[in-house]
């Protein structure tokens, strides 16, 4: 017996409700057209996805000169953003997401990586066996407004007030007075475990490089030895630390998307989960297996099916060390 595709079922119900709701949908979208307003909403709580929306909004605002009302679960990413006319926390009003889904149209637009009847873009790529997908995540999330976006010159943006900068500079005075690098030896284990290079390898690298390392946002993460630990930093403080670092090193995580905001060198130790074009910026330095293993990209959210996860196991610590030494002047 074939299992019902719940995502397809939800999508068909959604389409039916959209048809029933069409007159109201048309009137509201027409109203926003006359007022030159766009409603953007993003349900994802992933920091990386939301940071990418900042880049989309920046170019969209420049090319349309419209008023942008943004509804998000990650308000911290968008604070002080001059391109946003109104910022609303969806966590306080979760029902708005379902309302906007029904009102979706030319002026009410969702930012997401959903691809019905599949759960998301990764599931679609895996099931359709599309090995040559080379679009950036920004193109996926911003699909409905892609005509306004120059993806060749794409850049994310995070803004601080002067007051914020003064507070953070005082708080982290002892951190930013010397050259330092941020390291994040983890990825979302519960989401995409195949992306992880391994805590042991990060530790070995730390032991080999005489660098002023800092590990931040460590509340629920295993800590490295011989690094400076910054406990319980807020997202805004974390952004500030990235802005003032010399470089960042991590798996394929949100750290890379945030570093792009400030043109900070971002070393990404990349598994065979996706093609590098999906997360690469001008400031990104990809470190991966060469040649990449034949099963890559796997788009696999479950643990690797092989006895050995060659896409990361074959990335040697010495190789990562050499690349960092070559790219970072002050530790030569």
Percentage of the chain beyond pLDDT 70 is 96
Residue 208 is predicted with a pLDDT of 95
**What's the rounded mean pLDDT across residues 120-148?**
92
Residue 1 is predicted with a pLDDT of 45
Q: How big, in percent rounded to 5, are the helix, strand and coil portions of the chain? A: 45, 15, 40
Residue 243 is predicted with a pLDDT of 98
Residue 3 is predicted with a pLDDT of 65
Query: CATH second-level architecture of 6-153?
Result: 3-Layer(aba) Sandwich (3.40)
CA distances from residue 180 to 231, 236, 242, 259, 305 in whole angstroms, order as listed: 17, 18, 10, 14, 37
Residue range 255-284, pLDDT digits in tens: 999 999 999 999 999 999 999 999 999 999
User: Rounded to an integer, what distance in angstroms lies between the CA atom of residue 13 and that of residue 306?
Assistant: 39
- Tell whether the torsion through CA atoms of 77, 81, 83 and 84 is positive or negative: positive
Q: Is the pTM of this model over 0.95?
A: no
CA distances from residue 301 to 44, 111, 119, 191, 192 in whole angstroms, order as listed: 17, 21, 12, 6, 5
When the pLDDT of each residue in the chain is averaged and rounded to a whole number, the result is: 92
Residue 218 is predicted with a pLDDT of 63
H/E stretch holding 23: helix 22-34
**What's the rounded mean pLDDT across residues 111-139?**
90
Residue range 172-204, pLDDT digits in tens: 999 999 999 999 988 655 568 899 999 999 999
Q: To which CATH superfamily is domain 162-331 assigned?
A: Glycogen Phosphorylase B; (3.40.50.2000)
Query: Do the Cβ atoms of 107 and 37 come closer than 8 Å?
Result: yes
One fold for 6-153 and 162-331: yes
**What's the rounded mean pLDDT across residues 39-46?**
94
**What's the rounded mean pLDDT across residues 293-319?**
94
Domain boundaries, given as residue ranges, for the chain? 6-153, 162-331
Residue 198 is predicted with a pLDDT of 93
Residue range 142-180, pLDDT digits in tens: 988 999 999 999 999 999 999 999 999 999 999 999 999
Residue 188 is predicted with a pLDDT of 57
Residue 93 pLDDT greater than 80, yes or no: yes
Q: Locate 32 and state its tokens.
A: 């926003």
Q: What are phi and psi of 53, to 5 degrees?
A: -60, -30
């Amino acid at each position: 017996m074939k299992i019902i595709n719940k995502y397809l079922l939800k999508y068909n119900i959604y389409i039916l409700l959209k048809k029933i709701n069409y007159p109201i949908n048309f009137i509201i979208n027409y109203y926003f057209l006359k007022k030159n307003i766009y409603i953007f909403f993003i349900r994802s709580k992933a920091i990386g996805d939301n940071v990418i929306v900042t880049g989309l909004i920046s170019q969209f605002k420049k090319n349309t000169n419209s008023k942008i009302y943004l509804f998000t679960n990650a308000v911290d990413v968008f604070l002080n953003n001059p391109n946003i006319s109104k910022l609303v926390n969806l966590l306080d009003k979760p029902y708005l997401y379902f309302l906007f889904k029904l009102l979706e149209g030319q002026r009410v637009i969702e930012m997401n990586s959903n691809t019905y009847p599949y759960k998301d873009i990764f599931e679609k790529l895996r099931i359709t066996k599309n090995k040559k997908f080379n679009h950036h995540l920004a193109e996926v999330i911003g699909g409905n407004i892609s005509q306004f976006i120059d993806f060749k010159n794409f850049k994310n943006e995070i803004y601080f007030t002067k007051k914020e900068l003064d507070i953070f500079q005082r708080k982290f005075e002892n951190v930013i007075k010397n050259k330092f690098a941020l390291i994040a030896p983890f990825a979302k284990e519960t989401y995409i475990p195949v992306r992880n290079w391994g805590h042991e390898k990060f530790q070995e690298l730390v032991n080999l490089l005489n660098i002023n390392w800092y590990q931040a946002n460590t509340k629920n993460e295993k800590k490295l030895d011989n690094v400076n630990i910054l406990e319980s930093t807020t997202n805004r403080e974390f952004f500030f630390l990235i802005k003032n670092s010399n470089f960042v090193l991590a798996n394929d995580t949100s750290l890379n998307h945030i570093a792009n905001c400030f043109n900070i060198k971002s070393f990404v130790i990349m598994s065979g989960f996706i093609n590098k074009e999906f997360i690469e910026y001008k400031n990104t330095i990809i470190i991966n297996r060469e040649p990449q293993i034949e099963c890559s990209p796997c788009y696999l959210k479950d643990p690797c099916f092989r006895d050995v996860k060659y896409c990361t196991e074959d990335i040697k610590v010495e190789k990562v060390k050499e690349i960092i030494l070559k790219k970072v002047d002050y530790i030569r």
